[in-house]
Structures are given as structure tokens and as C-alpha cells.
């Protein structure tokens, strides 16, 4: 190879490098980058919880970026989603939150479970990060805590509404609870037991639990169903376990009602339990076609285009990023100052793009937490029927 | 009580089939295959795709799962374990490879098949109900029967076929088998393929009852190891016994202990620790390996 050839190749490579660097500078000049973090579970048996978060965030971010970015104050930002799989391990959740600190991120969605959310609290508070967990311990949202914002409806908010409806409308008198032997489901079960008793329902089973990796629920349910409850509550059930529990209960001859306070996926129920899942009651976000806006329909289309299949859990998970961006738009100073974000939360209000009608985005939680540390998402109580969710009733949390 | 026994027998049959492949690989190659659960999951997803998505007959899907996993097993032995065994005499090298393989397969399965729980249509509708004393859906009875049939076929194959005899010889004494003209590399590969195939078959059978999701490989492996430890590592009859014992312990424990909360597995693990401290080689294993 001649020297001239080497020189010319080097020249070409250098020219390409300069051109690339130049184009990056130009791109950087036209739109800044706004990084939003995610710390949660995207692998293992509970992968569906975090994956629906990540995919919702990526779908929304791609949509925003495709339309030129989001204007916050005088600047236009391209959204970048930075994700960290905590594998449902609190130690890894802390590492994930520390990674967000290193990335200079102030707004994080997740973690997905109670112990992870509790574990990241010191890191988030010390480093001025607002985070949006899908975890229910009240201490995360009550003073003196102020950096966590509950990203969904808690079971102690939806449970009483569901039990009251079923008592009044379906004549439920006795309830049995079953939960996975993990902190989230157990705390949800305990909250459910208190709520059911407060409504005058007789709790006939409240100690039965199962390992979260159980595959065959017949032995687990056999003693529970001997109590012949009118309602079987699957406290905090993971979407992967719900169809297995429903199927086992029905195949053991149980004909009563089955409900949960967590969001589920219609396709998973259809494949796992088929028509045996008919009548199963759960909670969703903008879940049903009758209340979805055109924006929500387009979000679902884009989600399917990006990831091949929609996850109904995203009906709730779509909201966290929307709240972060809309709050930043309402107060651009909050982009790197979470104290400004907190101030804005008190008065924030914006149209809810995912629902028909005049629904609004706002922060709630005064009754449950004494301060506004919860996103307002519609509490849509669904009944599964033949592959679809149909709305039983819609309520709001204050 | 009838229900508890039936639940235990059904669980035992599926557990025994899961443990068989694991113990076979251990017997032949002294490898603790931590990726066994992931092979089970792959078998489930192959069956899900062919039977559930493409709507081809279940037997075609099950056959495809068996063949696919046998090929994957042979590939893993030929290009991964054989290479490592040749280059390293330390046993932990194969353990690390198996653990790495488990993580790798977990990630690949999640990437290809997604995060959702998957299920397929029931093979048979209807429920056997003996006055609510014993309730058992027909598809469970069928799968339980197929699991037992698979176990019997496997045992007969190992007992009477030339390949089975060669593999048993290999398991008993690798050097002696080699001196007798057994092609060690060939039968190690066949054994690994057979072990992986068994994992695929049981994954394919159980997808019709319990479905499958990408995250269950690890927990399945742990249960398989428990059964092998109970019965004795590397002993076929031990794996079968371990499977049925664990199935029965679960079924009885979940019924008898349910009012005390989730202590069934605590009791099982505690019992296992006591048992292994008295008989570390398991029920049917030999103390010298």
C-alpha cells in the first residue's frame, strides 16, 4: 500500500469525523436534551411491571421527539429515557438511582415495588430527585418525605370502592384474601382486610399466601376455596399469576367473584384463563375504549408499532412522563430545581390528553397523605369479559 | 385428603420430569446445569409459538420443542461445555459457564418472546369431579399421564437401548467406559441433548396448564436442584423419587400449614437441611459420588 493511499484514507476518515462532530454540534444547538430516568424491574417474573413503564415512556418520548421536541420555557428539548433494571432488588434499585444522579437526572419514574421505592428514598432526597414509584407505603408520600409521587391508585384507595360496589351491587358478604409472600402483596392484603371489615364484610381467609414463582396454584387454592367465599381477592397479584390463579380457582369449582386492585392485561388473561376469566374485576387507567381519547388511541398504535404488542398496564403507566413534562412546562425553572417542581405541584392543572371530555391532570393525595404527592389518574374499575375489559365504574382520588 | 394426594401426584410427575434432564447431565458430565430452567422456558415458548400462535396441532408443537431443545443442547455441549472442560480442570469453570448461560438465555428469551405471561388453549375441556372430594380437570389428568409416560419411556430407553447403556456406563465410570470403546465425546453430546430435550418436553407439556413467561427459568432450576438433592445427584431413580417427594410435600404442606401463613417452603427447606446433614448424598446417591 502506498503512502499516498494511506494519507488519502486518513484524510477521508478525518473529514468524516469532523463532519459527524459538526453535525452533532448543530443538532445540539437546535434542541437540548432532557433526560428522564426509569429505575424498576424489567427482568424476571415481574418484568411486565417495569417493561410496561419503559415502553410507555419510550413511546411517548419518540412521539414528542418526532414532532420536534417539547418546548419548556424558551428552550426546546429532545427527550431521552435512561433506564435501569433493578431486578426487583432494593440494592440494585439504589445503584440505579445513583446512576441517575451521575447522569444529572432530576426526574425518575419507578421503582415498581415497595422495598425498592423505600430503598431509593435517601438517594433521591439527598440528590434532589423527584421520583414516581408504583409502591404504596404511605410513609413515602407523607411529610417529612416530599420527593416521591405515587404514580397510580393505591389499593387502600381502590379496594374500599370495589368492595363497597360488590357488596351493594352483587350481594357479596364473605371475602377470602390470597397474596404472594412478598412485601407489596402482603401489605395490600392487610389493607384489603381492614377495608373489607370496615364495610361489614366477613373475612373468611386472610392468611393464605404463595411463593411468587408458583406455577401450579391448585394446591394453594384448595384450602382457601373450602371456605366458600362470595369474593376471592387476589391481593397485589402480578399479571403473570392472575390467569393461573383464576383458572385454578374455576377448575376447582369456585363460582364466586374474583377481584384484584392491581392493573392487568386482557391478552394475558385471555391466553392464560380464556373464558374462565370472565367476570374478573381489576383496576385500570384510561383502560376502556369508551373513555379513551384519540390521543390515547394513537399512543396505543405507536406503542404497538414500536414494540409489537400493547400492554394494558400502560393505560396507567402512560401518565407519569406526561405529568413530569407538563409540570416542567408549567414552571420551566423546575427543570433542574425540584423545589420549584414541588411548588408547582400545589396548583398544577392541565388537560388530560388521554381521556375524552374535560378530565384534567392534577396532583392529589391530600386525604391519603396530607399533601399532594400522587398523580390523578382515573380509577377505572373493569370487568374482564371475552378478551376485553368493560368499565364497571369510574371514580377519582382526592 | 383425596384432593391433596391427587395434587401431590400431579405435581410430582411434572417435577420428576423436570429433574430427570438435570440429573442426566450431571451424571454424564459432572455439570451443574444452572440453565436447565431456561431450557424448560424455551420449550414452553416453542410450543406456545407453534400451538398457540401458528395453531398447528399440539403434537407437532411438542415434537418441535423436543427437537429444538435437543439441537440447542447438543450445540451447548459441543461448543461451550466441551471447550471449557478441555481447557480447564477446575469444576467451577463449568458452573460459571452454566450460570452465565442461564443469564444469557434469560435475556435472549425476554428479548424474543417479551415480558408477558403466555398461555395456550386447553387441550381438553371438562373436569373430573367426584362429589367435590376430588376435582381434577381432564387436561391435568392428560398431562400427568403424558409426564409419567415420558418418564417410563426415558427409563426404558436408558435401560435397554445401546445409547442408554453407553450413557449409563459413562455415568458410572468415564475412564472405564472410554477403555471399553465408548465414544465419550459423542455420548456426552447425546446426553446433554437428551437432558435439554427433556426440559423442552416438560416445558411444552406444562405450557398447556401453567403457561410460560420469560422470568421463570431461575425458579424452575432451583426446584429442579432441590429434587436432585433429595433423590441423589446423578441418579435417575433418585430424581424421580425427589420429584414425587417434593410434589407431595408441597401439596400436604400447603393444605396442613395454610393457616400459619406461607411456611410450607420454610418447613421444606428446613427439613432438607436436616436431611442433607444426615445423608448428604441424598436418598439414592452414593457418598463417593
What are the residue ranges spanned by the domains of chain A?
32-152+290-377, 155-262
Contact between A251 and B115 using a beta-carbon 8 Å cutoff:
no
Instruction: Write down the pLDDT at residue A1.
Output: 41
Chain B nearest CA to A326, separation (Å) = 29
Question: In the predicted model, is pLDDT for residue A9 greater than 70?
Answer: no
Would the pLDDT of A27 be above 80? Answer: no
Contact predicate A150/A133, CB 8 Å = yes
Q: Which of A60-74, A130-144, B97-111, B131-145 has the lowest mean pLDDT?
A: B131-145
Residue of B258, B265, B269 to mutate when probing chain A, most A C-beta within 10 A: B258
* Separation CA A138–CA A212 (nearest Å): 24
Same fold, A32-152+290-377 and A155-262: yes
Q: Is A319 helix (H, G, I), strand (E, B) or coil?
A: helix
Supply the pLDDT for residue A24: 47
| pLDDT band at A6; cut points 50, 70, 90 | very low
Residues on chain B touching A216 (C-beta within 8 angstroms)? 10-11, 14, 209-210
Q: pLDDT tier at A2 (50, 70, 90 boundaries)? A: very low
Q: Is the pLDDT of residue A16 over 70?
A: no
Instruction: Give dist(CA A247, CA B185) in Å, integer.
Output: 45
CB atoms within 10 A of CB B95: 14
- pLDDT(B288) > 90: no
C-alpha R_g of chain A: 23
Confidence band, pLDDT 50/70/90 cuts, at residue A125: very high
What is the band of A10 on the pLDDT scale with cuts at 50, 70, 90? low
**CB-based contact A243:A384 (threshold 8 Å):** no
d(CA A113, CA A134): 6
How far is residue A87's CA from residue A41's CA, in Å, rounded to a whole number?
5
Q: Which of A51, A216, A272 sits opposite B115 (nearest CB)?
A: A51
Instruction: Show the DSSP H helices in A31-133 as ranges.
Output: 47-66, 90-102, 114-126
- Torsion angle of C-alpha atoms A332, A338, A339, A341, degrees rounded to 10: 50
Domain contains B73 = yes
Mean pLDDT of B87-116: 90
Task: Look at residue A239 and tell me whether its pLDDT is greater than 90.
Answer: no
Q: How far is CA B73 from CA B25, B41, B43, B218, in A?
A: 10, 14, 12, 18
The b-or-e profile of A202-219 (16+ CB within 10 A means b, else e) is ebbbbebbbbbbbbbbbb
Q: Which of the residue ranges A43-52, A111-120, B81-90 has the most confident prediction, judged by mean pLDDT? A: A111-120
CB-based contact A208 B258, cutoff 8 Å: yes
* Domain enclosing residue B193, as ranges: 2-278
Q: Confirm whether B71 is domain-assigned.
A: yes
Range list of H helices, chain A: 3-30, 47-66, 90-102, 114-126, 155-170, 183-198, 218-225, 242-251, 266-273, 294-307, 314-317, 319-330, 338-347, 366-369
Distance from CA of B137 to the nearest CA of A (A): 6
Average pLDDT, chain A: 89
Minimal C-alpha gap between A379 and chain B (Å):
23
Query: B49 lies in a domain?
Result: yes
Is a pLDDT exceeding 70 seen at residue A93?
A: yes
- Which backbone phi and psi does A371 adopt, to 5 degrees? -155, 160
Residue of B254, B255, B259, B268 to mutate, interface with A, max A Cβ within 10 Å: B254
Q: Which residue has the higher pLDDT, A320 or A31?
A: A320
Report the domain count for chain B.
1
Instruction: Tell me chain B's radius of gyration from C-alpha atoms.
Output: 19
Topology adopted by domain A32-152+290-377: Rossmann fold (3.40.50)
How far is A22 from chain B, CA to nearest CA, in Å?
A: 35
pLDDT digits (tens, 9 = 90+) for B6-41: 989 998 988 998 999 999 998 888 888 999 999 999
- Nearest residue of B to residue A312 by CA position? B116
- The pLDDT score that the predictor gives to residue A335 is 95
Min mean pLDDT across A229-243, A338-352, B173-187, B248-262 is at B248-262
Contact present, B255 and A222 (Cβ < 8 Å): yes
How many Cβ contacts (< 8 angstroms) between chains A and B?
A: 119
Q: Quick check: B255 and A43 CB within 8 A?
A: no
Residue A204 backbone dihedrals phi, psi, to 5 degrees: -95, -15
Mean pLDDT of A334-363: 94
ipTM, two decimals: 0.84
> Cβ B258–A48 below 8 Å, yes or no?
no
CATH code matching the domain that covers A155-262, chosen among 1.20.140.10, 3.40.50.2300, 3.30.70.20, 3.40.50.880: 3.40.50.2300
Q: Which three cell numbers stand for residue B55?
A: 395453531
- DSSP, collapsed to helix, strand or coil, labels residue A82 as strand
**DSSP string computed for A259-289:** E-SS---HHHHHHHHGGGGTT-EEEESS-ST
Quick check: B64 pLDDT over 50? yes
Q: Is A320 a residue whose pLDDT tops 90?
A: yes
Distance (Å, rounded) from C-alpha B52 to C-alpha A142?
Answer: 47
Query: Largest Cα–Cα distance of chain A, in whole Å?
Result: 92
Looking at per-residue confidence, does B151 or A11 come out higher? B151
pLDDT digits (tens, 9 = 90+) for A181-222: 888 899 889 999 999 999 999 999 998 888 888 888 988 898
- State mean pLDDT over A290-317: 91
- Whether residue A11 is predicted with pLDDT greater than 80 in this model: the reply is no
| Candidates B6, B117, B140, B220, partner chain A, best to mutate (most A CBs within 10 A) | B117
The Cα–Cα gap between A170 and B164 comes to 61
Chain B hits for A52, CB-CB cut-off 8 Å, are 115
| Spatial distance between the Cα atoms of B82 and B77, rounded to a whole number of angstroms | 6
pLDDT digits (tens, 9 = 90+) for B191-241: 999 999 999 999 999 999 999 998 899 999 998 999 999 998 888 889 999
H helix or E strand, kind and range, residue B201? helix B184-210
Cα B74 → chain centroid: 17
Distance from CA of A46 to the nearest CA of B (A): 7
Sheet order of strands, A379-385 included: A202-210, A174-180, A231-235, A257-259, A281-284, A379-385, A388-395
The residue-averaged pLDDT of A260-289 equals: 87
Q: State the CATH number of the domain containing residue B106.
A: 1.10.3470
Q: Could you tell me how far CA B170 lies from the centroid of its own chain?
A: 21
Contacts of B121 in chain A (CB under 8 A): 274
What average pLDDT does the segment B173-197 reach?
A: 91
Identify the pLDDT of residue A4. 45
Q: Is residue A282 within 8 Å of residue A390, measured between CB atoms? A: no
Cα gap B72→A162, rounded to integer Å: 49
| Cell numbers found for residue A278 | 370472565
Is there a contact between B255 and A219 if contact means CB atoms under 8 Å apart? yes
Amino acid at each position: 500500500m502506498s503512502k499516498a493511499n494511506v494519507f488519502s484514507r486518513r484524510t477521508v476518515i478525518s473529514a468524516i469525523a469532523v463532519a459527524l462532530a459538526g453535525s452533532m454540534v448543530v443538532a445540539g444547538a437546535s434542541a437540548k436534551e432532557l433526560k428522564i430516568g426509569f429505575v424498576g424491574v424489567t427482568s424476571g417474573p415481574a418484568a411486565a411491571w417495569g417493561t410496561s413503564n419503559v415502553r410507555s415512556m419510550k413511546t411517548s418520548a419518540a412521539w414528542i421527539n418526532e414532532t420536534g421536541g417539547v418546548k419548556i420555557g424558551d428552550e426546546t428539548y429532545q427527550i431521552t429515557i435512561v433506564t435501569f433494571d433493578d431486578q426487583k432488588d432494593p440494592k440494585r434499585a439504589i445503584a440505579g438511582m445513583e446512576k441517575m444522579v451521575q447522569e444529572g437526572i432530576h426526574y425518575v419514574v419507578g421503582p415498581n415495588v415497595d422495598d425498592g421505592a423505600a430503598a431509593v428514598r435517601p438517594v433521591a432526597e439527598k440528590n434532589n430527585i423527584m421520583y414516581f414509584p408504583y409502591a404504596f407505603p404511605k410513609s413515602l408520600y407523607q411529610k417529612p418525605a416530599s420527593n416521591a409521587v405515587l404514580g397510580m391508585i393505591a389499593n387502600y384507595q381502590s379496594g374500599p370502592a370495589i368492595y363497597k360496589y360488590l357488596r351493594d351491587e352483587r350481594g357479596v358478604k364473605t371475602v377470602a384474601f390470597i397474596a404472594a409472600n412478598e412485601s407489596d402483596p402482603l401489605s395490600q392484603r392487610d389493607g384489603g382486610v381492614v377495608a373489607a371489615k370496615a364495610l361489614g364484610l366477613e373475612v373468611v381467609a386472610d392468611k393464605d399466601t404463595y411463593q411468587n414463582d408458583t406455577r401450579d396454584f391448585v394446591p394453594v387454592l384448595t384450602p382457601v376455596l373450602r371456605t366458600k367465599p362470595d369474593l376471592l381477592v387476589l391481593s397485589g397479584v402480578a399479571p403473570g399469576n392472575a390467569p393461573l390463579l383464576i383458572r385454578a380457582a374455576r377448575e376447582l369449582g369456585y363460582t364466586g367473584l374474583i377481584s384484584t386492585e392491581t392493573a392487568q392485561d386482557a391478552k394475558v388473561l385471555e391466553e392464560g384463563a380464556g373464558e374462565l376469566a370472565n367476570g374478573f374485576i381489576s383496576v385500570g387507567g384510561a383502560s376502556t375504549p369508551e373513555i379513551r381519547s384519540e390521543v390515547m388511541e394513537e399512543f396505543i398504535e405507536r406503542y404497538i408499532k414500536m414494540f409489537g404488542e400493547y400492554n394494558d398496564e400502560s393505560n396507567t403507566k402512560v401518565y407519569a412522563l406526561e405529568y413530569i413534562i407538563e409540570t416542567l412546562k408549567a414552571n420551566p425553572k423546575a427543570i433542574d430545581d425540584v423545589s420549584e417542581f414541588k411548588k408547582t405541584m400545589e396548583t398544577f392543572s392541565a388537560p388530560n390528553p388521554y381521556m375524552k371530555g374535560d378530565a384534567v391532570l392534577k396532583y392529589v393525595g391530600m386525604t391519603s397523605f396530607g399533601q399532594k404527592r400522587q398523580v390523578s389518574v382515573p380509577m377505572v374499575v373493569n370487568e374482564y369479559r371475552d378478551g376485553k375489559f368493560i368499565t364497571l365504574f369510574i371514580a377519582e382520588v382526592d | 385428603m383425596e384432593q391433596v394426594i391427587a395434587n401431590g401426584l400431579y405435581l410430582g410427575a411434572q417435577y420428576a420430569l423436570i429433574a430427570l434432564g438435570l440429573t442426566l447431565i450431571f451424571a454424564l458430565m459432572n455439570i451443574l446445569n444452572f440453565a436447565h430452567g431456561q431450557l424448560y422456558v424455551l420449550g414452553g415458548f416453542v410450543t406456545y409459538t407453534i400451538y398457540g400462535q401458528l395453531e398447528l396441532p399440539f403434537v407437532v408443537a411438542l415434537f418441535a420443542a423436543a427437537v429444538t431443545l435437543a439441537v440447542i443442547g447438543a450445540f451447548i455441549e459441543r461448543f461451550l461445555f466441551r471447550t471449557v472442560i478441555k481447557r480447564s480442570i477446575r469444576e467451577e469453570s463449568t458452573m460459571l459457564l452454566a450460570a452465565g448461560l442461564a443469564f444469557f438465555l434469560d435475556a435472549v428469551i425476554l428479548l424474543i418472546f417479551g415480558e408477558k405471561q403466555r398461555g395456550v388453549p386447553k387441550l381438553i375441556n371438562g373436569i373430573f369431579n367426584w362429589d367435590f372430594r376430588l376435582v381434577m380437570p381432564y387436561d391435568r389428568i392428560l398431562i400427568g399421564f403424558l409426564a409419567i409416560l415420558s418418564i417410563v419411556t426415558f427409563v426404558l430407553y436408558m435401560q435397554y437401548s445401546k445409547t442408554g447403556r453407553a450413557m449409563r456406563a459413562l455415568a458410572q465410570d468415564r475412564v472405564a467406559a472410554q477403555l471399553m470403546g465408548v465414544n465419550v465425546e459423542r455420548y456426552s453430546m447425546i446426553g446433554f441433548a437428551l437432558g435439554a430435550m427433556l426440559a423442552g418436553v416438560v416445558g411444552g407439556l406444562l405450557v398447556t396448564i401453567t403457561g410460560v413467561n420469560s422470568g421463570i427459568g431461575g425458579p424452575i432450576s432451583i426446584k429442579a436442584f432441590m429434587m436432585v438433592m433429595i433423590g441423589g445427584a446423578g441418579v435417575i431413580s433418585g430424581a424421580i423419587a425427589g420429584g414425587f417427594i417434593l410434589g407431595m410435600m408441597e401439596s400436604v404442606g400447603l393444605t396442613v400449614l395454610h393457616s400459619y401463613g406461607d411456611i410450607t417452603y420454610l418447613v421444606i427447606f428446613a427439613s432438607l437441611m436436616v436431611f442433607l446433614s444426615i445423608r448428604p448424598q441424598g436418598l439414592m446417591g452414593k457418598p463417593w459420588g
